[in-house]
Chains A and B, each alone.
Chain A
């Protein structure tokens, strides 16, 4: 149980285009979803926290107009990288939490974005 999927698993796009990444909780309802970006040497940066039906809360330094997050249902959150540039190339991971606390997070398998 508690499976989180991401789609696509990898994507290559041209600079200036937009890319949408989906995060789905397959067998539970995720009231809260998180988006992370992986940096070299395995560090993870929390980008934003989204609660179903409300606007995402972005961490300091994350451009909300560039990284659009939508949590339209209890099983789906999307991250859209708008006007992607090569520096946006990274590994994006989502995680989902079932209840009001965020102690337990179930991670998705990640999406590898490469911007040419």
Chain B
């Protein structure tokens, strides 16, 4: 059973508009959530994270929202740029985000974002 789900395999957005990528999880023990961005032929790179004690974290054009009661998080990119076109992976951890023995990451299957000029 998938613990982290990204139900939209792809998303297409016009440049300058908002991109919203969604992620759902089932394990209530998850307390730290991350978004990774992946370009072709490269490994995923860390983008932004959020702890379960918060419901929002913002970093420039990227904002992650967490709804614990719904076990749902979303990544908002505003304004979207063509360089944002990539695959975005949602990941969750039950270890508080410190890595080590408690930081095992569980990944979703990714959403491919295409930002059209």
Contact = CB atoms under 8 A, between A and B. Distances in A.
B85 to A, nearest CB: 10
Interface stretch (A13-21, A33-41, A67-75, A77-85): A33-41
Interface stretch (B13-21, B35-43, B56-64, B72-80): B35-43
B98 A40 contact: yes
Interface string A79-116: 00000000000010101000001111111011010100
Contacts, number: 71
A60 interface: no
Interface size class of A (residues with CB under 8 A): 20 to 34
Interface residues of B, number: 29
B115 interface: no
Given A40-B99, A42-B46, A104-B112, A110 B40 contact: no
Contact of A46 (B34, B43, B100, B104): B43
Contacts of A109: 104, 106
Contact of A112 (B34, B44, B101, B112): B101
A36 to B, nearest CB: 6
Given A36-B43, A104-B9, A110-B104, 15 more contacts: A38-B103, A40-B100, A41-B46, A42-B91, A42-B93, A42-B105, A43-B46, A103-B40, A104-B110, A107-B106, A107-B107, A109-B104, A109-B106, A110-B105, A112-B104
Interface of B: 9, 34, 36, 38, 40-46, 49, 87, 89, 91, 93, 97-101, 103-107, 109-110, 112
Contacts of B99: 38-42, 91
A44 interface: yes
